Structure 1
Amino acid sequence: MPTPPSHHHSDLAPTNPFSLEPPTRWWRSWWRSLSPTRQDRLAAIAPLVSVALFLVAIAASFWYLRTEEQEREQDALIRAVDYAQQRMRLRLLERQEQIMRLARDVATEQVGTAEFASRAETFITQYPELQAITWINAEGRVIISQAAPTVPPEQLHIAALPLPPGPTFDVFTAIRQQPHSVYLQPLARTGMPVPMLQLQVPITAGTRFLGTVLIEYSVDNLLRYATPTEVLSRYTVNMLDAQGQVLSNPVASHTQPRLSLPWLSFKPLKAYTIPIMPVGDSLSMSAQAYRTSPGLVGNGLFWLVGSLSVLTAWLLLGTWRHTGKRLRTQEALVAETNFRRAMENSILTGMRALDLHGRITYVNAAFCQMTGWDEAELVGQLPPYPYWPKEEQNSLMLKLKDELSGKTMPGGFQVRVQRKNGSCFDARLYVSPLIDAHGQHTGWMSSITDITEPNRIRAQLAASHERFTIVLESLDASVSVAPLGSAELLFANKLYRQWFGSQTGGHLQLLQQAGILKTSPQEDDNAISLRPKVRNKNAEVYWPELGKWLEVRSRYLTWVDGRLAQMVIATDITARHLAEEQAAQQAERAQTASRLITMGEMASSVAHELNQPLTAINNYCSGMLSRLDSGSLTESQMRFALEKTAHQAQRAGQVIQHIRSFVKRSKPNRAPAQVEDMVAEAMELANIELRRRNVRLSHHIAARLPPVLADAILIEQVLVNLMKNAAEAIDHGGRPEGQRSVELLVRPKTLEQRPGVEFAIQDTGPGLPPQVLERLFEAFFSTKSEGMGIGLNLCRSIVESHSGRLQAQNLYNGSEVTGCCFSFWIPLADPAALQEDKDTHPQQ
């Protein structure tokens, strides 16, 4: 309600607003004179005006202080860049002096290419800014170049090649005319490798120019290692070329601040550039600093006023953000708890937690599934636990005491666990302490893994290993394993230990006697070097100490520790060796019997062959007696008759001698034999049978055939049998007179890269049917009713014992069979092969 006017005037009459009263009393009077509406407006506007004036004052103060601080920072930037330039100049001069000393050593021939490479590598390793050091001769050809691994391949200087045309070669030409050290900074171009600062130091001997030493600096490394760390940490530093192009990556530790008010923006200070001496204007250092703060860190009043100005606004925002963070953290905690719970329930390892008194405080689903007990039945239980077997409770209680006292083994320990249904399984228990958020020890966490199946597999492996050992110990062969180059015996079975003891001597001797392993002395007289030599066939050796023949086999294997080892298996083959000797004797008897059978079949022909000279001798003797009786025998006629008689007697003797040589029993004796002699002997014996059957025998022997390694009698037997069979085939085939011929061809032939001689017997008989060709060389198979079936089989055995091949094929004229051809091949005589044959048959 408004005041009555009379009363109002009575209060204000004595008041004079312009009187000299105290200011507070004047302010109070003026405020009371305002209406409530104006008072509310002023109350709302006054804080805004005061805040605005405060902000203006703060902005003005900040602008003034920022301007002053920029000037100080610019001065600090200039001083820092000048200091960095001095450091870089001293570093370049120091490297230049070192390279000049290297050039003087090269000029005085104190340093060769090897020493130059070594010292250059030392410089490059010791000073990271050096990228390459190259020695160039007076003709501009690169002698040697040593570069850091980081230099791109296209910037490498290849030895023995001249410098390519370009700025480097131009500088080299200038130095050759006026020797002095010159720096060169190539321009940076897009798409080209990062340029490097080059320095060429002349190599001179007196007035004679010998070349230059080219040093290439990495501009990045020069900036990084030559610039002081405090400069790089405060400013953005670049290296510029003569055109102002950036040659290096900027190095700076500060970034643009987040605050970006129009009146509070942090603009970079003016860049300061200074040339690098002694390079000159072609290389400059440029530095620039960013103001990361308004420079009022030390002004506590400024930060106090600013903080109080925004405190009210930030309190509500900060509280709201804090509340939101707490809600998000709580949600993340719940999600993490659910995730860990799901992970624990999904694993197959049982988890159990105990407190310090042994009470179960937690079990996971896997533990409940293992034991069959529910979580409610287990949590809160004290020992003895329901999953302990009754017969093992005492031992498990002792282990629990050790667990609660902290005496746990890192690898865990094995326990027996009883399920709810009464069955048991093996488990391995691992224990670790439980530490809460305050670092207090609150209990123990145990993880349990079912190891019943691994234990079963381990037991099976042990049983398998035992069976394997029993088998090896029971073998009738000696088995030993030893690493290469060592006298250690890794394994030896029972029979090896019985024969050779428990040392590697028997192992190595078996290898040496078998020719699988040879030893050769090294520089050290007490050491031997083992060099393996692998054979394609098993070796047979005779062991005098045992009186046995042993078959030695060897193979290489990787032992369990990764070493290369050699296993040797020695089998007793004494019985087999004796059987082979007996078989050889039986084969020899069979060969003799075959020759006797052949001569028996040829008996009539031999008798007819002997009948002619005997008849002639009888006729000559009878004629001489008749003439003696008549007295008409002259001395010349008697001489003629006696010469004829002696010739016929010699002919009969030769026939008998050939037959005796062919049928007599003798030991196999392979030796170099002349092909012509063997063929002549065989043809003389076979020609008797062929003439009896009215078959013509012709032959062709290649000239200058070398000797072959063979038993001449056995090869003659093969030739006689084949030629006789050819004559019988012609006779049984009923061939006419013009088609009854056998031809013997002897010619050189190389088979499987081995030179040898081929013997081919071709006839004009009816040939061989296909079913006969398939079984031709089988034992006791014959196409003749009176045949024994051992002739061709024996012939093949004889040829194969000479490392040869025997084969048969029909001869055709178009589709008509015109005969058959038997051919065999035996190798030429070779001294090495002859020696090996003697080694293989020591008793022959």
Structure 2
Amino acid sequence: MPLPPYLDAKNRPRLAPVARLRFWWKAQTGQRQDRFAMLTPLAAVMLFLLVILSAFAYLRFEEIAREREAIQRDVEYTQQRLRLRLLEQQEQLMRFARELAARELSTDDFLVRAEAFANLFAEVQSLRWIDDKYQTRANYDPNGALIGASSKDALIRREAEETSNNFQLVRDVLLPIYSSPLKDPRGPSLVQLHLPLIDKTHFKGDLLVTYSVDAMFRYGVPDEVTSKYAISFLDGQSQLLAGTSLLEKTLKRRILPWANPVNAYQVPLSPVGNGLSLRGQAYRTSVGVIGSGLFWLVMILSAATAWLLVANWRHTRRRIQAQDALVQETAFRRAMENSMLTGMRALDMQGQITYVNNAFCQMTGWAEGELVGQTAPFPYWPKEDHDMLRGRLKEELSGQIAPSGLQFRVQRKSGELLEARLYVSPLIDAFGQQTGWMTSMTDITEPTRVREQLAASHERFTAVLEALDASISVAPLGSNELLFANKLYRLWFGAEAQGHLQLVAEAGVPALAHSDETQDTVDVFAGLPTDHLSEKEAESAEIYLGSLGRWLEVRTRYMGWVDGRLAQMVIATDITVRRLAEEQAEVQAQRAQASSRLITMGEMASSVAHELNQPLTAINNYCNGMVSRIKGDNITQDELLGALEKTGRQAHRAGQIIQRIRSFVKRSEPNRTIASVATMVAEALELAEIELRRRNVKLTQYVAPNLPNVMVDPILIEQVLLNLLKNAAESIDIAQKPTALRLIKLRVAPALVEDKPVIEFRVTDSGDGIAPEVMDKVYEAFYSTKTDGMGIGLSLCRSIVESHLGRMKAENIYNGSTSIGCCFTFWIPNPDPLSAPPAQRPKQPVFQVPP
């Protein structure tokens, strides 16, 4: 008979293991099937017999194990009783030994106490008092002999040697020691206990106690244990010292190898140990007649079962013939149900459901009985989609459904909706006739949800990019194609890539030229790290774009596009407002500098007037004197020339004062030039001396010789230095220091700050210093410790110094816990420390010369 298509050779690898076994079974002949059908129950009977025998053996082994546990428990109990008895005796003997060590007992007292102890404990054979010289002081031995008559000399020698060795050992360790058992073939076996006699950590001798092993057995082993087990004491060579022992092999064991072996358990006898052990052996029980009876009963039952199997075989053959007729009918349905993972539904030509598989029922939530026989509208159709689905059903029955399938909604029995895709194919029977339509349905709810989430995520991402106040564009390298542009980019540059290329060019980012790779064997992008482009730092530049009239901050970076091409992303941010704010802030800073200079000159107005009054008064006096003498005609030409020269010098001096003040106050743009440090200090001091003289403050200065020139704005540096000197003078004046302490020190010298060469300016005053709570606020704008101060002096000074890449700091000078002044220091970078003479090059420390 030919095999059905789903069981032919080419489809065989796709079958499940159960289906493969069924296929193999169907491929066998009837005779072989009968043979296998007969062998299988027989194998089951043999397995049953094996299980019974295994269970019997297991129960027997369990019985033996319980016996072993019982003997182990009883032997350990016996060992514990012996141990406690020996420890009790050892404790009393140690008290006896302490009295001997303390010399509280005489020889007679020793014998009396030893006799009482031996009477109390029958296993004690003798007690012997040995001093530290190994001389016997007293010996209690009621038996008169320690061993039997035979081989007495040999055993005496062995005992003496053992006693001597143990005496040496107990003298070394100062602890109780048990000897190895001394076995006498015709007498009792003995064990010695050596107890050290110690007086204040000094060894005074040995108390030797001799035990009889046989007495230890008779008085130490409980009767209830000896009634159940053969208890024996063994030495290190497993030789019997006392007790009883069973033979390992008996007649029963030789006849029945599976008979119960002798259960035995052996443990060391504590605290003796040292080769003495306790062994217990269980007495044998019955041969196992009950077990043999069970075995034959199992054999009889197995034979009866085999006979029943023969009768069952004939009945099985008749059942197999009846089942063959059902195999072909159910093979198709089982194969389809077991192999298909998608929902399957069969419709007849009129649109009635004739079959659904388990996957379809699980997908819709309806049982097979609730679906088979139903016509449109089907239970799993949503009510709002009935009209649409009826039209789809007509197309399905007419064969007009596209091969790509139909997507529609399915309503579960619980009311939950899911998205499904339906594929339709004609259902052809075994005679080649179409009997209906077979549809396969797949649940696509999760893929649809993921696709919708991706679309929503893309929409949100695009909305964010469109709403950014920065222009974003992406273009591939070597091409004029624009891959992406947000709303602001399109507003500025349109939809072309020219704006992207213009931003890249204006930002100064080198672009790769386009090349025809068909004409070159080397890829133009070879060597670029396309796998890690997103981890590279973005390049940034600020440019002014005339076409837009805006300042833009342009950042570019390379990235791998979704299609694998290498692209360049450009982000352009409008920073016009920030640039205007920076320019306005710079203008305000210049105005603040000019205002500070005007305020400083306003405060120095009276002193300047006093300075100008001196040369003007001298000029007036010279002129009046010359007029008077000319009228009196009593002046010579040389005297007239001398007076005119002096008048000219005074006028020049007044002009210098006015010119210096005008150049300081005059508002001008920052002009950094190469300036001399000594010249800047001299010009600042020339203006500061007026204020210092007015406040009666003395200035000492140290300017290192041959200082290098620096690139600064000299007017601004002079303003900083003048402000610090003026503040120092005011601090001294406010502190009301005496004349001898009204002192300011100025020091200008090269130094090293953070391993960088600088020119250090240090102004130290002798005022009261700055309060600690104010120290952190002195540089804040509009904060002043003076009642009439504006609070912009030090803030402006620090801004000027930092604009020259320098730093400023202030610190108090203490004498103990009292502040005796303040020191302001600022640094200006030294452009070329090696340009100075070798003697003036910065070292560590730079200068040690006091100011």
Normalized against structure 2, the TM-score is what?
0.50
Change beyond 3 A, Cα 1:737–1:554: farther
Q: Which residue of 1 aligns with 2:389?
A: 393
CA–CA distance in structure 2, aligned partners of residues 697 and 536 of structure 1: 55
Match of 1:712 among 711, 714, 718: 714
Q: Could you tell me whether the CA contact under 8 Å between 1:432 and 1:444 is conserved in 2?
A: yes
Aligned equivalents of 1:686 and 1:611: distance in 2? Answer: 18
Indicate which of 459, 466, 469 corresponds to 2:459: 466
Tell me the residue number matched to 2:343. Answer: 351
1:618-637 equivalent positions in 2, closer than 5 A: 618-637=620-639
State the Cα deviation string for residues 691-721 of structure 1 (Å, max 9, x = none).
Answer: 2212222333344444333322222212211
Shift of 1:682: 1.7
Measure the CA separation in 1 of the matches of 2:511 and 2:664.
47
1:188-199 pair list within 5 angstroms: none
Pairwise CA distance, 1:544:
1.6
Q: Does residue 518 of the first structure (1) align with residue 510 of the second (2)?
A: yes
- Hey, what does 2:498 align to over in structure 1? 505
State the partner residue of 1:774: 776
* Aligned equivalent of 1:215: none
Aligned CA distance change for structure 1 residues 352 and 705 (closer, same or farther; 3 Å): farther
Alignment of 1:365-380 (within 5 A): 367-380=360-373
State the AA in 1 paired with 2:481. E
1:493 match: 486
> Displacement of 1:609 after TM fit?
1.9
Equivalent residue, structure 2, for 1:542: 544
SS in 2 for 1:354: strand
How far apart, in 2, do the equivalents of 1:823 and 1:439 lie? 107
Indicate conservation of the 8 Å contact 1:344/1:365, yes or no: no
What is the DSSP-based 3-state SS (H/G/I as helix, E as strand, rest coil) of the residue aligned with 1:668? coil
Question: Percent sequence identity over matched residues?
Answer: 58
Q: Which residue in the other structure is 1:219 paired with? A: none
Q: CA deviation at 1:795?
A: 1.8
Which structure 1 residue ranges, 5 or more long, are not aligned?
Answer: 1-315, 831-844
User: Once the 2 structures are TM-superposed, how far is the Cα of residue 625 of structure 1 from its aligned partner?
Assistant: 3.7
- Counterpart of 1:507 in 2: which secondary structure? helix
State the one-letter code of the partner of 2:663.
Answer: S
Q: What's the CA shift for 1:684?
A: 1.6
Partner of 2:695: 693
CA 669–623 in structure 1, closer or farther in 2 if over 3 Å, else same: same
Deviation track 1:339-398 (CA, whole Å, cap 9, x = no partner) reads x99x989x9x76224378676566455643442311221245466533234122234325
Distance in 2, matches of 1:807 and 1:537, equals 36
Deviation at 1:762, TM superposition (A): 2.3
Rounded Cα–Cα distance in structure 1 between residues aligned with 2:611 and 2:495 = 71
Paired residues of 2:477 and 2:512 also in contact (CA < 8 A): no
Change in Cα spacing, 1:487 to 1:716, as seen in structure 2 (3 Å) is: farther
**Letter of the structure 1 residue corresponding to residue 803 of structure 2:** S
Structure 1 distance, partners of 2:558, 2:507, is: 15
Deviation, structure 1 residue 601: 0.7
Q: CA deviation at 1:541?
A: 1.8
Q: Secondary structure at the match of 2:600?
A: helix
**Residue 769 of structure 1: CA displacement?**
1.4
What residue is the counterpart of 1:161 in the other structure?
Answer: none
Q: Which amino acid aligns with 1:393?
A: L
- 1:615-669 per-residue CA deviation (whole Å, 9 max, x = no partner) reads 3323333343444455443444333333332222222111111100011111222
3-state SS of the aligned residue for 2:770? coil
Amino acid at match of 2:747: L
Q: CA deviation at 1:445?
A: 6.5
Alignment correspondent of 2:576: 574
Q: Structure 2: which amino acid aligns with 1:449? A: D
Letter in 1 for 2:589: A
Give the C-alpha shift of residue 591 in structure 1.
Answer: 1.5
More contact order relative to length (CA 8 Å, sep ≥ 6): 2
Q: How far is 1:485 from its partner?
A: 4.7
Tell me the SS of whatever aligns to 2:702.
Answer: strand
Taking structure 1 as reference, are residues 733 and 455 closer, same or farther at Cα in structure 2, changes over 3 Å only? farther
Q: Summarize the Cα distance change of 1:807–1:432 in structure 2 as closer, same or farther, 3 Å threshold.
A: farther
User: Do the aligned partners of 2:345 and 2:360 also contact (CA within 8 Å) in 1?
Assistant: no
Task: Name the aligned partner's letter for residue 496 of structure 1.
Answer: Y
- Correspondences of 1:31-110 after superposition (within 5 Å): none
Secondary structure of 2:510's counterpart equals strand
1:419 to 408, 412, 426: 412
In structure 1, the residue matched to 2:800 is 798
1:449 aligns with 2:443: yes
* Structure 1 CA distance for aligned equivalents of residues 431 and 822 of structure 2: 106
Q: 1:550–1:574: 8 Å Cα contact kept in structure 2?
A: yes
The farther-off stretch of 738-747 and 658-667 is: 738-747
Task: Using the TM superposition, give the Cα deviation of residue 813 of structure 1 relative to its aligned residue in structure 2, in angstroms.
Answer: 4.1
Alpha-carbon separation, structure 2, partners of 1:620 and 1:664: 33
Aligned residue in 2 for 1:408: 403
Deviations 1:413-435 (CA, angstroms, capped at 9, x unpaired) = 52211334666432234679999
Contact 2:347–2:355 under 8 Å retained in 1: no
Using the TM superposition, give the Cα deviation of residue 493 of structure 1 relative to its aligned residue in structure 2, in angstroms.
2.0
Q: What RMSD, in angstroms, separates the aligned Cα atoms of the two structures? A: 4.6
Quickly say closer, same or farther: Cα 1:465–1:628, change in 2 above 3 A.
same
Q: Deviations over 1:588-622 (max 9, x none)?
A: 22221111111001111211222222233233333
SS in structure 2 at match of 1:518: coil
Aligned to 2:736: 734
CA deviation digits over 1:812-837, x for unaligned, max 9? Answer: 3454433222223334569xxxxxxx
* TM-score of the superposed pair, with normalisation by structure 1: 0.51
**Cα offset for 1:513?**
2.5
Q: 1:434–1:444: 8 Å Cα contact kept in structure 2?
A: yes
Q: Distance in 2 between matches of 1:534 and 1:612?
A: 71
Distance 1:711 1:639, change over 3 A: same
2-structure distance, mates of 1:558, 1:740: 73
**Whole-angstrom CA distance in 1 between matches of 2:421 and 2:571:** 43
> 1:450-500: per-residue Cα shift (whole Å, max 9, x none)?
51x654554454344334434433444322223445433221123322322
SS of the residue corresponding to residue 812 of structure 1 reads strand
For residues 216-238 of structure 1, give each alpha carbon's deviation from its aligned partner in whole angstroms, at most 9, with x where no partner exists.
xxxxxxxxxxxxxxxxxxxxxxx
Contact 1:519 1:529 in 2 (8 A): no
Counterpart residue identity of residue 767, structure 1: G
Q: 1:593 maps to what in 2?
A: 595
Distance in 2 separating the partners of 1:726 and 1:437: 116
Hey, what's the Cα distance between the residues in 1 that align with 2:416 and 2:648? 113
Q: CA deviation at 1:768?
A: 1.2
Q: How do residues 13-412 of structure 1 correspond to structure 2 at under 5 angstroms?
A: 351-354=343-346, 363=356, 367-381=360-374, 385-388=378-381, 389-397=385-393, 400-401=396-397, 408-409=403-404
Deviation, 1:778, is: 1.4
Q: Give, as a single letter, the amino acid of the residue that structure 1 aligns with 2:455.
A: A
Q: 1:382 to 1:577 in 2, by over 3 A?
A: same
- Give the whole-Å Cα distance in 2 for the aligned partners of 1:747 and 1:536: 43
Change (3 A) 1:354 1:570: same
C-alpha distance 362-535 of structure 1, shift in aligned 2 (>3 A): closer
Give, in angstroms, the shift of residue 760 of structure 1. 2.7
Equivalent-residue separation in structure 2 for 1:712 and 1:564 (angstroms): 53
- 1:199 — aligned with what? none
- Mark the CA change 1:354 to 1:548 in structure 2 (over 3 Å): closer, same or farther: same
Q: CA 1:458 to 1:519, structure 2 compared with 1: closer, same or farther past 3 Å?
A: closer
Tell me which residue corresponds to 1:604: 606
